[in-house]
Amino acid sequence: MPSSTFERYGGFSAVSRVVMTFYELVLDSDEVGHHFDDIDMPRLIDHQTKFISSLMGGPSAMSDDRLKAVHQTVPITDADFDEIGKLLAEAMAKHGMSEGDISQVVASVESKRPLIVNRATA
């Protein structure tokens, strides 16, 4: 019997599908899409798949120090972070994740807010 959320939903391939849907929503967002204008999306999708997988109980992806360092050059506000969390929850729901599991992943992402948000206003 699978022991983690990561395993229950099918591992990297399932998380990758969620992340692809997530970035479709993000890129269409008027609030946060602009942050991704000049980003290497295949590379980012790979990193994000590993990150979300780790939050779901999969293999460890990135240290907190590295997470903070990679976000320091991007002006991310609390409102941006909130929008990203909403879009991630929407993507997970589209892929059939339960409300409880979505809440757990969103709470794990929320715990990383101090490492990612670096601007008081947009």
CA proximity to 22, closest of 109, 100, 95, 76: 95
Residue 76 domain-assigned (yes or no): yes
Is residue 49 assigned to a domain?
yes
Q: Does the residue 26 lie in any domain?
A: yes
CA distance 71 to 80: 13
pLDDT at residue 74 in the model = 86
Enter the pTM of the model.
0.92
Could you tell me if residue 84 is inside a domain? yes
Quote the CA–CA distance of 6 and 59 in Å, as a whole number.
9
Indicate if the alpha-carbon torsion angle 39, 18, 84, 108 is positive or negative.
negative
Domain that holds residue 75: 5-116
Is 37 in a helix, a strand, or coil? coil
Residue-wise pLDDT for 15-73, tens only, equals 999 999 999 999 999 999 999 999 999 999 999 999 999 999 999 878 999 999 989 98
The answer as to whether 75 is a domain residue is yes
Number of residues that this document lists for the chain: 122
The pLDDT of residue 122 is 47
Q: Which of 1, 8, 2, 30 is nearest to 101 (CA)?
A: 8
90: domain CATH number? 1.10.490.10
122: in domain: no
Structural domain count of the chain: 1
Query: According to the model, what pLDDT value does residue 121 have?
Result: 61
Q: Is 78 among the domain residues?
A: yes
Residue 121 lies in a domain: no
